[in-house]
Structure 1
């Protein structure tokens, strides 16, 4: 970088000016209010401040993704179920925050013995504490906490329009307090997969595939919405209520992803770290844009019309795909990785319908399948990763999350029941489960 120093033009002083200058030089200067030199932060203190700021800024961007999921789901469900989706999203974020303090963070990061950490509420130093390390302890907890809420949001969208509220929220308690933290300890907590060399920079598998596997297990036990699949094999589309909300949610998620991926650099105290964060931002944006364009073109070719829901999910699939390794790809490779994610969505949504798996918002293709792809793609650009170890990680996370989630869903189904009645599903969950309709002026009175 070039620096310029401003210099005044040199002109000789007049004789009177020389005398005045000499007199001024001999005069005593007034005492200053502070005679000590200003105290500057050390390099370590400066790094601490910037690292902490990165966690906090990244954390509130990822927290804002909760609004993105809420808006996306509100737009993708029918009008009669909008309040239910909004309620689920604010409730799951709050439950995730509490459970991650009660036990989740400690299971994931404290005294990890290879497969699991410790069972204890987490705490941070008292007010006024200095010398916490490379960053504020509380900022780290906050940044890690908002990730677990993302995993729970994935489940919410898949199971929309037919699941009861309280069984869902109980599952969120288990997912955010135990399933996600235990699985996360294997890599991010320094557990056995980390020791093997498994690579997942910001969570294509740890966050998105974990949420996708949990959603898949629930969808299999819950069944499809009434009227979605006919006995003769026909699929009846069920359009969402508001594409404007769905698009707004997608843009909010896209914005939040810069915190998701960028702050996963975990340091901003050096020139190199700041440069790497910039590269992560650029690659993240390229992958999302490529996912959009790939889905846009492919739906035109396959269906002769462009389906906006595919395009929105193409953006999210591109983001999920690049999340496993957003730093090392070249711009071209970031585009390739994101574009493949968009293609995956367009090709696999019809496959789920053939299997009669009803995924209301397309979260399984976006988060589970694109997450697997992104994790497999890491060795293409990162020489520290190997395909064999990446596959081991994908299988381990899939087996653990799916089996445990299936058992939890099964217990809830046998004890409380998972699904609302056919009459409640027809009337809408806003009336049956919430009692507050999102659009009351457009809804029938349901006998009231």
Structure 2
């Protein structure tokens, strides 16, 4: 019986790992579809680099930083690389839920996701060398340190002790620990980069720069929704049928409600049915439920999703008003909805209460400050080393030709340079 349960748990975790890996295709298609044709190769190259470079650097240093074992609660390091548990007993690892190897690969996929969030926000004007350097450093150091504070048994996981209470900050699958960590980085880098040429006119009014392939972007959103079954479902860390089923239900209901909320609010606000708002509303609902997917009732998950969808619409408008340029709405979806979803744990669900809300607020504040400062230091260092912004000619003619020497649609004779 023990062997059967162990096998079932581990197989489920491996399936979820594959689903999270599949999300990188979703991100690639979404980002490519919402940006211009002349930068498609650049988008795809960045996403391929993130999963390849991210996995290797997470193996070398990230996993040891994120799960350091006994440490002071703030920073620790278990060593470079990964080795099989010394006692060799598979059943002693993770209470027999899954193997050490499955754990590493599942967590590595999460690490790469945080950097992927940045890719879409900085699209169409960042140097490829700069992006690669920033991503590697962020995945290797910043993401795992933040993760150790909660998932590695650090100070946020026992924050209640400060108040003489049990419990602490709670983030089931990463509304803050993955999505806001990526969202803060995206916000800081787009501030440093500046807007794309033509995004704002001489009077600083925002101008739409349409994506070149909305069907691709829509496909990307649907793939991401499917991948989220692994993202949240795998975070149960077992094949527990009752809890896994609940998580998949709350995840899907919040996604659906997020899409409906965004499309209705945007229709009222802008007097049209904007499919890009609909798509980002779905993603906002997914990000919003991720912190508490295991704690919410179906009705609560719908409420979280609707609010997430509305947040996306207003956040996109607010970012435009600040004269910031985010081609795919990554900051609105991952930072703002990540913030909301994390706070929702203290408002709805099994952990709702004053102290839990306080823990959530402290957690998002501490992580926000750390990620913002870290991202600024890293991008400033990268700027000094290689520069971050492409030249005017490169931006106008497209990064595909200038940084990759090829065209994504060469055989079709399409050219919007």
TM-score (norm 2): 0.93
319-328 or 408-417, which deviates more: 408-417
Q: How does 1:83-162 map to 2 (within 5 A)?
A: 83-111=41-69, 112-118=71-77, 120-125=79-84, 131-133=90-92, 134=96, 135-162=98-125
- Give ranges in structure 2 of 5+ residues lacking alignment: 160-167
Q: In structure 2, do the counterparts of structure 1 residues 328 and 161 end up closer, same or farther at CA, with 3 Å as the change threshold?
A: same
TM-superposed deviation, 1:347: 0.9
Match of 1:316 among 283, 293, 309: 283
1:361 to 2:328 alignment:
yes
1:51 to 2:9 alignment:
yes
Aligned residue in 2 for 1:427: 397
Summarize deviations over 1:220-259 as a string: whole Å, max 9, x none. 0000000101231211100001000000000000000010
TM-superposed deviation, 1:443: 4.3
Distance in structure 1 (CA, Å) of the matches to 2:90 and 2:20: 27
Match of 1:382 among 350, 354, 358: 350
Distance in structure 1 (CA, Å) of the matches to 2:303 and 2:74: 34
1:415 to 2:382 alignment:
no
Instruction: Tell me if structure 2 keeps the 8 A contact 1:314–1:343.
Output: yes
Match of 2:406 among 420, 436, 442: 436
1:214 to 2:173 alignment:
no
Distance in structure 1 (CA, Å) of the matches to 2:5 and 2:182: 34
* Counterpart secondary structure, 1:67: helix
TM-superposed deviation, 1:121: 2.3
Distance in structure 2 (CA, Å) of the matches to 1:259 and 1:230: 43
Aligned residue in 2 for 1:185: 148
Distance in structure 1 (CA, Å) of the matches to 2:125 and 2:267: 31
Distance in structure 2 (CA, Å) of the matches to 1:422 and 1:162: 9
Distance in structure 1 (CA, Å) of the matches to 2:366 and 2:302: 28
TM-score (norm 1): 0.87
- Give ranges in structure 1 of 5+ residues lacking alignment: 1-41
1:176 to 2:139 alignment:
yes
Distance in structure 2 (CA, Å) of the matches to 1:442 and 1:404: 43
Distance in structure 1 (CA, Å) of the matches to 2:35 and 2:8: 41
Over the aligned positions, Cα root-mean-square deviation in angstroms equals: 1.7
* Counterpart secondary structure, 2:150: coil
Flag the structure with larger Rg. Answer: 1
Instruction: Tell me if structure 2 keeps the 8 A contact 1:80–1:443.
Output: no
Aligned residue in 2 for 1:297: 264
* Counterpart secondary structure, 2:343: helix
Higher helix share: 2
Summarize deviations over 1:310-341 as a string: whole Å, max 9, x none. 00000000000000000121111100001111
TM-superposed deviation, 1:52: 1.2
Aligned residue in 1 for 2:337: 370
Q: In structure 2, do the counterparts of structure 1 residues 332 and 384 end up closer, same or farther at CA, with 3 Å as the change threshold?
A: closer
Aligned residue in 1 for 2:157: 194
How many pairs are equivalent?
A: 400
Summarize deviations over 1:12-59 as a string: whole Å, max 9, x none. xxxxxxxxxxxxxxxxxxxxxxxxxxxxxx33x222212211221111
Aligned residue in 2 for 1:326: 293
Distance in structure 2 (CA, Å) of the matches to 1:155 and 1:266: 27
* Counterpart secondary structure, 2:153: coil
Aligned residue in 1 for 2:26: 68
Distance in structure 2 (CA, Å) of the matches to 1:199 and 1:445: 47
* Counterpart secondary structure, 1:99: helix
Aligned residue in 1 for 2:252: 285
Aligned residue in 1 for 2:164: none
